[in-house]
Amino acid sequence: MSIYEYKVKDGKGAEISMEEFSGKVLLIVNTASKCGFTPQFDGLEKLYKKYKDKGLAVVGFPCNQFGAQDPGTDEEIQGFCRLNYGVTFPMMSKIDVNGDGEDPLYTYLKSQKKGLMGSKIKWNFTKFLVDREGNVVKRFAPTDKPEDLEKHILKLL
């Protein structure tokens, strides 16, 4: 399997193929609007704006599994991210990243790079870095700030 074989839903519920990101460096993040790490949206947006023309795509996946910190609808979450953090990178539909109902993309990501808790996602703002060929290169903890990822992203760009 490859990351490009998965389909996800965008923030409006339309199905899109991860193949649309083929040839780009991807930073995939499970997000939440009411989390102590929520200010990371600012750093993620800065990375996206700085490097999108060089081939970086940041993709956010809202998730309400950790402390019920993203209870809103997809529309409310999109509005919050735009209004409060100026987010212009793609925000997908809300998903589960652990458990029986987890999104298959996250099952794949976790199988490629384990974290502190094995394959489980520990909390909001876990980040996966994917190279231009679709290989999951690195996994970052929620505490890893977006600005600290820049050197890793630059190696792939």
Could you tell me the pTM of the whole model?
Answer: 0.95
Does the annotation mark 63 as catalytic?
Answer: no
- Per-residue pLDDT tens over the stretch 42-67: 999 999 999 999 999 999 999 999 99
User: Class of the 7-156 domain?
Assistant: alpha beta
So what's the pLDDT on residue 117?
A: 61
Three-state SS at 44: helix
So what's the pLDDT on residue 116?
A: 63
C-alpha span between 67 and 118 (Å, rounded): 20
Helices then strands, counting H and E runs in the chain, come out as: 4, 6
So what's the pLDDT on residue 39?
A: 94
C-alpha span between 7 and 153 (Å, rounded): 24
- The ranges assigned to domains in the chain are 7-156
| Catalytic choice (35, 47, 77, 136) | 35
So what's the pLDDT on residue 115?
A: 67
What residues of the chain score a pLDDT lower than 50?
none
What crossing angle do the helices spanning 74-85 and 40-51 adopt, rounded to 10°?
80
